[in-house]
Structure 1
Amino acid sequence: MIRRRRKSESEPTIALINVVFLMLIFFLVAGTIAPSLDKDLQLVRTADIEGTAPADALVLHPDGRMTNRGRDIGSAAAFVGSLPEEARADIRIIPDRDVPASTLVALGRELREAGAERVLIVTERGMP
């Protein structure tokens, strides 16, 4: 009995190269078909905009101290009481990064009990 030698099956590298090449051509064509912006359009520059906290926001520091416009606030009720009636609808809290979550939740609860309709937490937006 003579054994036949098996031919080593070659990998279809040519087919793989063709598929990759076709994908490259597809993406090149799809990129050129997309409409471009008008040449005379100038986008808004935000590099020079000063990012400051809203004036009516309550700043919560890591040690539990609360300030508004640079002045210390004794309690949440005192802060809500100092606001005009229309400003009590939305109250913003700007917490420090190191404030414990339990302190932030307790402050939100106190503000709601003092008459705030909605309590909003102002955070830093990450880059997309």
Structure 2
Amino acid sequence: MLRVRRKSEREPTTALINIVFLMLIFFLVAGTLAVPLDGDLTLVRTAELERTAPGDALVVHADGRMSFRGQVIGAPSDYLARLDAENRERVRIVPDAELPAIELVAIGRALRRAGAEAVVIVTERGLE
């Protein structure tokens, strides 16, 4: 008696290649959507933080000067004046690691007094 050999069916690799290609395109697009931060900024390190993109964040440098999208901001209230009502609900600050905590707290309080409902500090872990 002869045994009948069954052919093993091959898995189609075209679908897998398509998925990998789509993931590559997604990561290329997602990586270019965020507004770049200032190059001389050293971020604070934390272990756990909610991951939020800092595109509309107030950048506070080590010397205390503030910038928003590359433009110098004089006061926290000037920053809030540039935001629409929806973005004022949750304001993000990206501080330099060398910024004294007292100054960071003072800026957070000034933002709250100017009308921000919540102030979130974005750190290095949050940008990953």
Q: Deviations over 1:54-98 (max 9, x none)?
A: 221000001100000000001011111121111100110000010
Matched residues in 2 for 1:125 and 1:77: separation?
A: 27
How many matched pairs?
88
Matched residues in 2 for 1:55 and 1:68: separation?
A: 9
Matched residues in 2 for 1:103 and 1:94: separation?
A: 13
Aligned to 1:72: 72
Aligned to 1:14: none
**1:26-105 matches, cutoff 5 A:** 49=31, 52-53=36-37, 54-105=54-105
- State the SS of the aligned residue for 1:56: coil
Q: Deviations over 1:16-40 (max 9, x none)?
A: xxxxxxxxxxxxxxxxxxxxxxxx7
The one-letter code sitting in structure 2 at the alignment partner of 1:111 is L
Matched residues in 2 for 1:111 and 1:63: separation?
A: 19
Scaled by the length of structure 1, the TM-score of the pair is 0.58
The one-letter code sitting in structure 2 at the alignment partner of 1:63 is D
Gaps of 5+ in 1: 1-39
Are the counterparts in 2 of residues 55 and 68 from structure 1 also a CA contact under 8 Å? no
The one-letter code sitting in structure 1 at the alignment partner of 2:100 is P
Q: What percent identity do the matched residue pairs reach?
A: 49
Matched residues in 2 for 1:61 and 1:81: separation?
A: 20
Scaled by the length of structure 2, the TM-score of the pair is 0.58
The one-letter code sitting in structure 1 at the alignment partner of 2:97 is R
1:117 aligns with 2:124: no
Matched residues in 1 for 2:59 and 2:82: separation?
A: 15
Q: Which has the higher contact order (CA 8 A, sep 6+)?
A: 2
Matched residues in 2 for 1:74 and 1:125: separation?
A: 28
Gaps of 5+ in 2: 1-15, 38-53
- The CA RMSD measured in Å over matched residues stands at 2.5
